[in-house]
Amino acid sequence: MPEPEAHKENKMATAEVYPIDKPANWAAPNSYMISTEDLWKTYDMGSEQVHALRGINLQIQRNEYVAIMGPSGSGKSTLMNLIGCLDSPSKGHYWLNGQLVSELDDDELARIRNKEIGFVFQTFNLLARATSLHNVELPLIYAGVPSDERAERAKAALTSVGMESRMNHKPNELSGGQRQRVAIARALVNKPAIILADEPTGNLDSQTGNEIMALFDRLHSEGNTIVLVTHEHDIAEYAHRIVSIRDGVVAKDEVKR
């Protein structure tokens, strides 16, 4: 996939990489959208312990567009699960939008996921027998939003991603790119704090992938905080900052100038 024209002139400059020890100028967590402090995730594999994350310190500003990169086994998927409140750390702290979420139980994490995070997955994760409109309404149903308001907000979200003419189509009546646009509308409908996209172009051809990434560019320009998880360098180049994970630690943190 070719590098977007708007980004060809950008040069990379190394940003501060936080060591495990808290820096002296560590800002108050509520000044960031995402803030992690000495974040660890350890799995017990029989008699052996596997440290998937080894003390991640990461801060992401509101309205940042960040790509998290890393090879298979690097820990990037584990970090995504923690950022997305799909799992809890073994050690350390994680604040999302000023709230300490690393101490919450499963029910509280589910509420935070629905309220604060809009997920976009590689496999779309749409209900096969539901229309585009109903798929986008789902987060609002879980949030207890009345039906009339649900429909209005879902229609607005679908319109915002160019799917107003496909509201009553089911997933098998849509192309891959259209399905992903529906998934993005679903991510947007609750006006979340962050959009968390996991390999969002992985099942798309190059041209359609470019169109989806152009849509993320537009969403970022409208004020959304976007965290993109990918192993593809050309996809990561769309972001304005690239955090590289290797062996469970931040290996590099680069900001485009």
Buried b (16+ CB within 10 A) or exposed e, 186-196: bbbbbebbbbb
Per residue of the chain (257 residues), give pLDDT as tens: 455 544 444 444 444 444 434 443 444 466 899 999 999 999 998 889 999 999 999 999 999 999 999 998 899 999 999 999 999 999 999 999 989 999 899 999 999 999 999 999 999 999 999 999 999 999 999 999 999 999 999 999 999 999 999 999 999 999 999 999 999 999 999 999 999 999 999 999 999 999 999 999 999 999 999 999 999 999 999 999 999 999 999 999 999 86
Distance between first and last Cα of the chain = 22
pTM of the prediction?
Answer: 0.85
What pLDDT does 27 receive?
47
Long-range contacts of 40-49 (CB under 8 A, 24+ apart): 40/89, 40/90, 40/91, 40/92, 41/75, 41/78, 41/82, 41/87, 41/89, 41/90, 41/248, 42/90, 42/91
Q: Return the CATH number at 141.
A: 3.40.50.300
Q: How many CB atoms lie within 10 A of CB 175?
A: 12
Domain range for residue 229?
5-256
Report the distance separating Cα 104 and Cα 197, nearest Å.
23
Closest CA to 56 of 44, 42, 43: 42
Instruction: Count up the domains in the chain and report the number.
Output: 1
What pLDDT does 256 receive?
82
